Structure 1
Amino acid sequence: MKFEVGVMAVLAACGLVWGMPSWAADFPPEMPESLTSFGAAMVGEDLYVFGGHRGAAHQYSSEGVSGALWRLPVRAGGEWVELAGDEPAQGTALVAHRGGVIRVGGMAARNAPGEKHDLHSLDRVARFEPGTGRWEALPSLPEARSSHDAWVLDGRLYVVGGWTLSGAGSGGVFRREMAVMDLTAGELEWEVRPQPFARRALAVVGAEGRLYCMGGMEEQDTSSRVDVLDVATGAWREGPSLPRAPMRGFGGAAVVAGGRVYVSGLSGKVWRLSADGGAWEEAGEWATPRFFHRMVALDARTLLAVGGANGQGQLRDVETLRIGGVMVRDWPQWRGPDRDGRSRATGWGKAWPAEGLPLAWRARVGIGVSSPVMVRNRVYATGNDGGGNDSVFSFDLATGREVWRHTFEAASTHHAMAIVPSGPAATPTVVGGRVLVLSREGEFRVLEAATGTVAWRRHLVGDLGGKRPVYGYAQSPLVHGGRVILDVGGESGAAGTTVALELATGAEVWRGGAGEAGYSSARVVVREGEAYVALFKGEGLEVLAAGDGRTVATHAMTTRDFCNALTPVEVGGRILVSNTGSGPAALLAWRPGEGAMETVWTHGAFAQLFNTAVVHEGALFAFNEQRRSEAEFTCVDAETGETLWVSDAVPTGTFVLADGHWIFQTRQGEVVLAPATRDGLGPVGRFQAVGGRCYATPAFNGLFLAVRNNEGELAVFDARVGRR
């Protein structure tokens, strides 16, 4: 494979672009293991992580508590390095001081796995000196303590909140006092001072002579309370309560950056204390909500969220948030994170240069119509070499360096008609550290995202008893609730032609649905708190219960060769379907268990095949592909089905919505930028990105735009220009 690297990518890789954010800082590597309840601190541009819980929630044992100390040179783009460990602890704190780090207290489990919990808080305090690589014991805490937090302010170490656990059968004793040590004194010793609260799992930071103690759990309930200590006078006052959020302030994390206090919890939102200290203002949002994590500051405007957990389990990732800058968001699957054609990235520049976005790099991936995807610092793409082999590629996002390539046998052509595009049509799905790919002939593979090695595979026809569609499989694998949902297809009317497999193992969980496979990709819709899978199969729309595959609603709709290709579009609880056959597009109302769906309205000039409508400002936007020689970007009122306008300002193609703007890729490989409004279409930027024919959908994460053509030219452009 050959790749062409743009000037900006070369300079970025060499670190020669003054003022350019480090790619390493935008996409730090994952932690070596998933952790919660650990300590973290920044020393210069190095991130240190100590201790933590590595097991399942509320399952404690000596094997599940870490004593490891890790260091990551964030800006330098290095890897995690394990340093000398110390006594294992979770519910611990780590603070930076004079070029080193200090660990404070924590909890150790003395029981083996499966035994009754025997949990003990620790009084251990020790300093790690990077120069010597050794730990030095400091005076022990006056009382053993865990689930607390700590901060160094004006040369003093403050240890606040938490509780004391004393072994099996004993309840935790909440600490109602804080411990303070003057780190500048010749002889180090602890001083015990009262605190006006008893809370654990709280977040503590200090700034401008004040110590902020936020959230946590009281003896009976979670808390959003904020207590503020003036360290000069010793006076406490109550600050503004944390904004309403799941679990309130329990297990939250806080940091000081540029003299301002930031806090985040399970909602994923990042809040900043106002300049006068009287209110909280929203400053950003993490892509992955979490609690029992840590936040650290790389500089005055760059925050990192480290580890933690959420409803899906423990996390290993380190996520970057630039305050007031571009909010970078992954594009991990077909049509974006929610399969609705929307990017979550915000704050990116819309004032494109007249010549268009600068090229970062270009590569050849082989023929195909699958779309690229972006996850963290990787781009994934698929293609066929024309000699009977499909390949899956992993590229470095900034430079285009090929990280790995996985190749397997797959037919290069799929239909006798030359007009039918060749190569893979299914877009990869990246989830949980794995890459899911599907060939036109039905070879489904789950690859490890880090290495490209095969975790497991199934063939939709040979292993799962499916029936190959006329033009080959084109669906992009859907993952929900730890399961992969695949439309394997079958004869008309045949039952059980949609299959759910365990993502971890490939074991079959359920079968549902009926009939021929389509060319559409499924998506999840939620009604009354329950998740359902909407599939536009070859013979119509089916809505299946995500848990067991039961059919809860159907609508018959088909065309020649079962060419239903649009991804179901959710419109306020209703679903839009369309194809390029003789029947009109239809908006359908449905209720679980009622079977047939009700037609709300139809539209005879809103046909979709290679593009899918996007909902915005109460309207539906899509290219009408009924007359393929005409460019008809159409805006339809979502409630009434009335056509509001039709524009030929952009040639037919595919498009995504990002931060109030359309990003188009035309069939001829032109990229066009236009504000997204129901008042009309007015392009504000355009450039020729690739040549040839293009059916793929662009991928956009706020920093980069990736496009490809059918012949296998993948081009990635630097989208950081244009910010004013």
Structure 2
Amino acid sequence: MMLPTPTSRLLVTCFTLLAFAAPDRSAGSDWPQWRGPDRTDVSKETGLLKTWPEGGPKRVWLFENAGSGYSGPAIVAGKLFTLGTRDGQEILLVLDANTGTEIRAVKLGAVLSNDWGNGPRGTPAVDGDRVYALSGPGNLVCVQVADGKILWQVTMASLGGKVPNWGYTESVTIDGPKVLCTPGGAKGTVAALDKLTGTVIWQSKEFTALAHYSSIVPATINGVAQYVQRTEKSVVGLKADDGKLLWETSFAGRTAVIPTPIVRGNEVYVTAGYGSGSKLVRIEKDNTVTTVYENKVMKNHHGGAILIGDHVYGHGDPGWVCQDFKTGAEVWMHREFGKGAIGAADGMLYALEERSGTVALVAASPTGWKESGRFKLDPQTKIRAARGQVWTHPVISNGKLYLRDQDIIYCYDVKAR
């Protein structure tokens, strides 16, 4: 028997250290709020499938008791948080993100009633040991993650708000010590609350438009921390410290303005449906606003628009659109896949067709729609409103794809092996 020499022992030790130090070719990440950690809807996941087998990726689990609503999932530390309905109340639902096992359901109050589908619309925001959620009728609740205890709650009505036609759909924002929400109305369109107590820190007294359906994006523009939000006719930047109106630009929204703004550097991009179109503005150092372009190339209703590189992707009515972010020009349009919502990860788009519940995997490329797999959600809900469709956006987190159709939540394994 040959005994190891000092040199051989050193080599083994070095190879062992290298093996432990070598980076994993795949990386997973949590999804703590609407559109992910940075509100771009572009997941930082890597090592994911680039093609799907026939019938789609393997389904890991199925949960069938989420109730009504269009709330999406927030995923943190192995737990999935979403909103739904049960026993005549809207609920915060907590599941094991890996198995789909229910952990708890926390009652949040009355159910929003609407012809397009009852129940909550917004996605919860998880921050440490707390989760924040806004119900359809406008009840903002802070819940302790460990045991589901409600720590505080504030209604949008108490902040001067009025429930919009399709309910409160905002996914609230956590930024440092503050939770941001958009009650709308004369007291101030946007409110910043102390996230520990629910106490009002400020409301945007210079900006008092009624709430629409978009969610706030925290940003630093020209070195100034601020919050970008939009209503039916305006896009604004509010100073993070005190809610002061820094800049405002008009936007010709109609009926319902929904998609979350996109911020890159000192540029802000918005789009909306009902023929409204898209607009890119540049915020100068003195907070004057320069319009870069405004056109009808992207008319995104509510499925979301995503910026990857220098291109914006989303359903633009009448088809899926790739738009040049810098110029606003149409790069390509694809009409053979129906209108719906979008997510992105690892260089791929996850497109969900709202009418059929079909999901397609598409390259995020300006060279055209290049599909490399699709499948149809099965089973599908039996409780969807007659006018409702599959409107919850796809989420990719920790190697898994999460989808929802009302009471049914689906989890698929999309990690490459």
Q: TM-score, normalised by structure 2?
A: 0.89
Query: What CA distance in whole angstroms lies between the structure 1 residues aligned with 2:120 and 2:285?
Result: 34
- Residues 256-311 of structure 1 deviation map (CA, whole Å, 9 limit, x = unaligned): 895235xxxxxxxxxxxxxxxxxxxxxxxxxxxxxxxxxxxxxx55x8xxxxxxxx
> In structure 2, which of residues 369, 390, 403 is the aligned counterpart of residue 694 of structure 1?
390
Give SS of 2:46's match: coil
CA spacing shift, 1:683–1:551, aligned 2, 3 Å:
same
Find the partner of 1:487 among 182, 190, 194: 182
In the other structure, the counterpart of 2:165 is: 470
Task: Please report how far the alpha carbon of residue 591 of structure 1 lies from its aligned counterpart in structure 2 after TM superposition.
Answer: 2.8
- Please name the residue that 1:367 is paired with: 68
Partner Cα separation in structure 1 for residue 136 and residue 285 of structure 2: 33
Could you tell me which amino acid in structure 2 is paired with residue 689 of structure 1? L
For residues 325 and 583 of structure 1, do their structure 2 counterparts lie closer, same or farther at Cα, with a shift above 3 Å needed?
closer
**Could you tell me which residue of structure 2 aligns to residue 671 of structure 1?**
359
Distance 1:717 1:582, change over 3 A: closer
Trace 1:421-500 onto structure 2 (pairs within 5 A).
Answer: 421-461=117-157, 463-490=158-185, 494=186, 496-500=188-192
Equivalence for 2:95: 395
- Please show how residues 31-50 of structure 1 align to structure 2 within 5 Å: none
SS in 1 for 2:141: strand
Q: Deviations over 1:579-611 (max 9, x none)?
A: 22444311111135535x221112213111212
How far did residue 372 of structure 1 move?
1.3
Letter aligned with residue 310 of structure 2: G
Check whether the contact 1:208–1:259 (CA below 8 A) recurs between aligned residues: no
* CA–CA separation in structure 2 for the residues paired with 1:464 and 1:576: 28
The percent of aligned pairs where both chains have the same amino acid is 27
Q: Deviations over 1:340-389 (max 9, x none)?
A: 1100111223232222111111112011111112112111121123x631
Residues 438, 476 of structure 1: 8 Å contact kept: yes
Q: Deviations over 1:319-349 (max 9, x none)?
A: xxx8324201011111111111100111223
Instruction: Give the superposition deviation at 1:208.
Output: 6.2
SS in structure 1 opposite 2:190?
strand
Query: Conserved in 2, the CA contact under 8 Å of 1:558 and 1:564?
Result: no
CA contact (8 A) 1:649 1:681 kept: no
Between the aligned partners of 1:429 and 1:646, the Cα distance in structure 2 is 34
Checking the alignment, whether the CA contact within 8 Å between 1:326 and 1:348 is kept in structure 2 is yes
Aligned Cα root-mean-square deviation (Å)? 2.3
* Distance in structure 2 (CA, Å) of the matches to 1:599 and 1:639: 12
Match of 2:386 in 1: none
Query: Which residue does 1:411 correspond to in 2?
Result: 111
| Pairing 1:172-191 to 2, within 5 Å after superposition | none
1:610 aligns with 2:367: no
Does residue 336 (structure 1) correspond to residue 48 (structure 2)? The answer is no
CA contact (8 A) 2:58 2:413 kept: yes
Answer yes or no: is the 8 Å Cα contact 1:617–1:677 preserved in 2: no
Please identify runs of 4+ aligned residues in structure 1 that moved more than 6 A.
Answer: none
- Equivalent AA in structure 2 for residue 455 of structure 1: L
* Alignment partner, residue 229 of structure 2: 535
- Three-state SS of the structure 2 residue aligned to 1:259 is helix
| 1:524 pairs with 2:214 | no
Letter of the 2:16 counterpart? G
The amino acid that maps onto 1:398 is: N
2:343 is aligned, of 653, 656, 663, to 656
Contact 2:95 2:103 (C-alpha < 8 Å) held by counterparts: yes
Of structures 1 and 2, the larger Rg is shown by 1
- Aligned to 1:260, what secondary structure does the other structure show? helix
State the partner residue of 1:685. Answer: 373
Counterpart AA for 1:405 = A
1:485-634 map, 5 Å: 485-490=180-185, 494=186, 496-512=188-204, 513-561=207-255, 563-591=256-284, 593-594=286-287, 597-625=289-317, 630=318, 632-634=319-321
Match for residue 327 of structure 1? Answer: 27
For the residue of structure 1 that corresponds to 2:28, the secondary structure is coil
Change (3 A) 1:528 1:572: closer
- Aligned AA (2:88): G
The DSSP-based 3-state class of the residue aligned with 1:514 is coil
Aligned twin of 2:16: 259
Pairwise CA distance, 1:635 = 1.0
Instruction: State the SS of the aligned residue for 2:228.
Output: strand
Residues 1:450 and 1:640: Cα distance change in structure 2 (over 3 Å): same
Higher relative contact order (CA 8 A, sep 6+): 2
Mapped partners of 1:257, 1:429: distance in 2: 43
Structure 1: gaps (5+ residues) = 1-153, 156-206, 211-255, 262-299, 304-321
Return the offset for 1:565. 0.7
Residues 254 and 274 in structure 2, CA contact (< 8 A), matched pair in contact too: yes
Separation (CA, whole Å) in 2 of partners of 1:444 and 1:257: 54
**What is the rounded CA distance, in whole Å, between the counterparts of 2:184 and 2:14 in structure 1?**
54
Tell me the residue number matched to 1:79: none
2:274 and 2:301 in contact (8 A); partners too: no
> In structure 2, what is the equivalent of residue 201 of structure 1?
none
Q: Does 1:715 align with 2:416?
A: no
Q: Is the 8 A contact 1:384 1:412 kept in 2?
A: no
Alignment of 1:5-16 (within 5 A): none
Q: Which amino acid aligns with 1:413?
A: S
C-alpha contact (below 8 Å) 2:112/2:137 kept by paired residues = no
Give the AA of the match of 2:324: D
Q: 2: CA distance between counterparts of 1:544 and 1:358? A: 44
> SS at the partner of 2:136?
coil
Change in Cα spacing, 1:602 to 1:538, as seen in structure 2 (3 Å) is closer
Q: How does 1:104-183 map to 2 (within 5 A)?
A: none
Separation in 2, partners of 1:402, 1:410: 22
Check 1:346–1:582 CA distance in 2 against 1; reply closer, same or farther (3 A cut).
closer
In the alignment, what sits opposite 2:401? 705
Distance 1:208 1:624 in 2: 62
Distance 1:376 1:258 in 2: 32
Secondary structure at the residue paired with 2:312? strand
1:515 Cα deviation after fit: 1.2
**Residues 272-351 of structure 1 correspond to what in structure 2 (within 5 A)?**
300-301=19-20, 323-351=23-51
Give distance in 2, aligned partners of 1:712 and 1:639: 40
User: Unaligned stretches of 5+ in structure 2?
Assistant: 382-388
Q: Distance in 2 between matches of 1:449 and 1:348?
A: 29
Residues of 2 paired with 1:592 and 1:580: CA distance?
Answer: 31
The amino acid across from 1:368 in the alignment is G
Offset of 1:544 from its aligned partner?
Answer: 0.5
Asked if structure 2 preserves the Cα contact closer than 8 Å seen for 1:484 and 1:502, the reply is yes
Counterpart AA for 2:50: K
Distance 2:251 2:222 in 1: 26
